Amino acid sequence: MKKPAEISRNQEVVLEEIAPFEVALFVKREDELHPHVSGNKYRKLKYNLLEARDKGHETLLTFGGAYSNHIAALAYAGKMHGLRTIGIIRGEELQGREDLIRSNPTLSFAREQGMRLEFISRDLYRNKAEPEFEGLLREKFGDVYFVPEGGTNELAVEGCREILTDEDREFDHICVPVGTGGTISGLILSAGPHQTVLGFPSLKADFLEGEISKYAIPGPNWSLIKEYHFGGYAKVNEKLISFINRFYRSTTIPLDPVYTGKMMYGIVDLIKKNHFAKNSRILAIHTGGLQGIDGMNRKLALKKMPLICT
């Protein structure tokens, strides 16, 4: 296995509620890799940034929702590398609405980094990967380097192969949240034959196995656990929020409500249901995403729901 250039620490999780089940649970703190290009987005952008520079591009163009971790990360990473950035954002209702943009922590952060924001309808957004749409974007913005939604492509998967280190071979199970499937693909490709990789999708999606199979061979060493999406992407309920807050108080590890919170809820639930054999060693990848907590808390406050502690 390649020696990763950037290594994050593994922190043991000590939680009363799982103590009787005699498994070891650690969190790989990829959220600490970088304050703004956090977690898996750092891994996914690394080789894309090098490629863009090698090919002589001056501008990165990408796509995302209004609270996207990927948008925030790419805006900052682009600035660091001296590249211009354009974010094509889902939701034309935001076009020209300075009030809404300013009150959105992700979009205002991205713009502070110099990202140009363009808002498009959900219909158009759905076709964003079509060659005709890419053609239109090239006409409008010139010779940009395209980074797909969520940042997933071959080079992103290459970067995610650097998450696990040789020391991590002592773990039996590697757990990771799944959005577009790029991160889990890198883990599957770099895990040892004695390890299983368990993905926790944060959305209802039937297409994920297919996406992951573009990069990693379907095989016995990985599976998706689909019971912990909490109703869909960016959907939360009070049970999830209170779990995230309890977990933070007991372990000092902050979790985000879209990805890592759902994964960790699932892991703890599975431990309590005896899914893992006694003495199993479990490593959960903290993929970051903490920038999204502010935006989620603003939505929760409007609904008079409990907030996520930070």
Q: Which residues of this chain interact with ligand PLP, rule CB under 6 A?
A: 39-41, 69-70, 150, 152, 177-184, 256, 259-260, 287-289
Minimum Å gap between C-beta 146 and ligand PLP is 16
The residue among 64 and 120 lying less far from ligand PLP, judged by its C-beta, is 64
> Closest separation between CB of residue 160 and ligand PLP, Å?
7
- Give Cα separations from 223 to 25, 84, 220 (angstroms): 19, 38, 8
Residue with CB nearest ligand PLP?
A: 289
Q: Which is nearer to ligand PLP, 21 or 162 (CB)?
A: 162
Nearest to ligand PLP of 21, 115 (CB atom): 115
The distance of closest approach from Cβ of residue 150 to ligand PLP in the complex, given in angstroms and rounded to an integer, is 4
Residue 85, φ and ψ in degrees, nearest 5: -130, 140
What is the smallest separation between the CB atom of 61 and ligand PLP, expressed in angstroms?
18
In the complex with ligand PLP, the residue whose CB is nearer, 21 or 155, is 155
CA neighbor of 44 nearest in space, from 194, 197, 150? 150
Q: Which is nearer to ligand PLP, 188 or 282 (CB)?
A: 188
The least distance separating ligand PLP from the CB of residue 279, rounded to whole angstroms, comes to 28
Closer to ligand PLP at the Cβ: 21 or 88? 88
CB of 180 to ligand PLP, least distance (A): 3
In the complex, least distance from residue 225 CB atom to ligand PLP, rounded to whole angstroms: 14
Residue 113 to residue 242: CA distance in whole angstroms: 33
Is the CB of 21 or the CB of 240 nearer to ligand PLP?
A: 240
Of 289, 258, 291, 256, which is closest to residue 110 (Cα–Cα)? 291
**Whole-angstrom distance, CA of residue 234 vs CA of residue 300:** 12
